[in-house]
Amino acid sequence: METFLQGLFWFVPVALLGGFIGYWVARRAARASTRVALPDDMHQRDALLRAMTLLVRSTDKLTSDVDVHIHELEDACRQLGELHVTGEFAPIQAALLSQIARILESNRHLEDDLICTRYKLHQQAAELDRTRQEARTDSLTGVGNRKAFDEHLTFLLAQFHNERTPFVLVLVDVDNFKEINDSYGHRAGDQVVRELGEILRHSVRDSDLVARYGGDEFAILFANIDEPTAHSVTDRIRQQLESHAILWDDDVEHLSTTCSIGLSGVRNDDTHDTLLQRADQALYRAKHAGRNRVTVYSD
């Protein structure tokens, strides 16, 4: 009896202090999470998203710890309540039960606060991630934009220089695009670009990136692949576009078109410019060889 009561006398103040500190931290986190503003600068947004992800993980762990603590207190309260004490110990037992009840109430409030905080943090992180994706997405086609392409190419080049992981850059350009705009109007041209983007997006793996590089030009970054494999994949893309009927004008009329494709694999000491120049030269050769073909760069 005495050992158990002595342990509780140590346990209660420590639990009270821990509950107070945790409750204060959760309150501050909840208020701070509602004040977070989305910065315009992309690097700040990314840094904020990483910090918020860590905060979400910390809040998840704290919520779990509080839940465990509540169960431990409930067990201690049950054991203490089952003791049959008399005399001078009876008031002590009643006081301890009252203290534990107050701690449990505080912890339950803390748990509710943490759940609300965690929910708000998840919402804020999702909003940050959404704006991050929007900033890297082409609004017409839904594929990556030039910024997404530049960032991913930087990553693949660094990975290649560090780990020798190969990749291939592909440039895809609609044939006779100006004639489509002149003959059918810019709405038809937009539809051609939109549907080519859709074909490209469904023709690559999750590890690859499709981006709209210019008006009617797309870029594909094939990760961990060689030139012959990239040639095979892109030629299937070319064939698919060639046989694809593009509907426009309320789906009443349709038109067909083709594309030319140039590609080059990464080489030692490549930079953005050197790799892009080779892929662009391959695309130029495909155009001048008659269009509607895939050309691999060769010296």
Number of domains comprising the chain: 2
User: Looking at residues 256-271, what average pLDDT do you find?
Assistant: 96
Same domain, 84 and 189: no
**Catalytic residue chosen out of the listed positions 138, 175, 216, 270:** 216
How many of the other CB atoms lie within 10 Å of CB of 297?
A: 20
Residue with token string 């991630």: 129
Q: Quote the percentage of the chain above a pLDDT of 70.
A: 76
pLDDT (tens digit per residue) in 158-186: 999 989 999 999 999 999 999 999 998 99
165 belongs to a structural domain = yes
End residue of a domain, out of 135, 162, 196: 135
Mark whether 170 and 243 lie in a shared domain: yes
In this prediction, residue 77 carries a pLDDT of 72
Query: Looking at the structure, do residues 249 and 177 belong to the same domain, yes or no?
Result: yes
Residues 246 and 265 in one domain: yes
Residue 216 appears among annotated catalytic residues: yes
**Is 28 found in the same domain as 6?**
yes
Q: Is residue 124 part of a domain?
A: yes
Question: Could you tell me if 154 and 289 lie in one domain?
Answer: yes
Do residues 51 and 97 both lie within one domain? yes
Q: According to the 3-state scheme, what is the secondary structure of 107-158?
A: HHHHHHHHHHHHHHHHHHHHHHHHHHHHHCECCCCCCECHHHHHHHHHHHHH
Query: Do 194 and 237 fall within a single domain?
Result: yes
Spatial separation of the C-alpha atoms in residues 90 and 86, rounded to whole Å: 5
What average pLDDT does range 245-259 have in this prediction?
A: 80
Its domain, for residue 264, covers: 146-296
Side-chain half-sphere exposure of 35, counting CA atoms within 13 A:
6
What CATH number is given to the structural domain containing 199?
3.30.70.270
Domain end, chosen from 135, 163, 195, is at: 135
| pLDDT for the residue numbered 12 | 47
Rounded to two decimals, the pTM is 0.64
pLDDT tens figures, 96-124: 777 777 877 776 777 777 677 777 777 77
Q: Does residue 158 sit in the same domain as residue 292?
A: yes
* Domain's final residue, options 135, 162, 185: 135
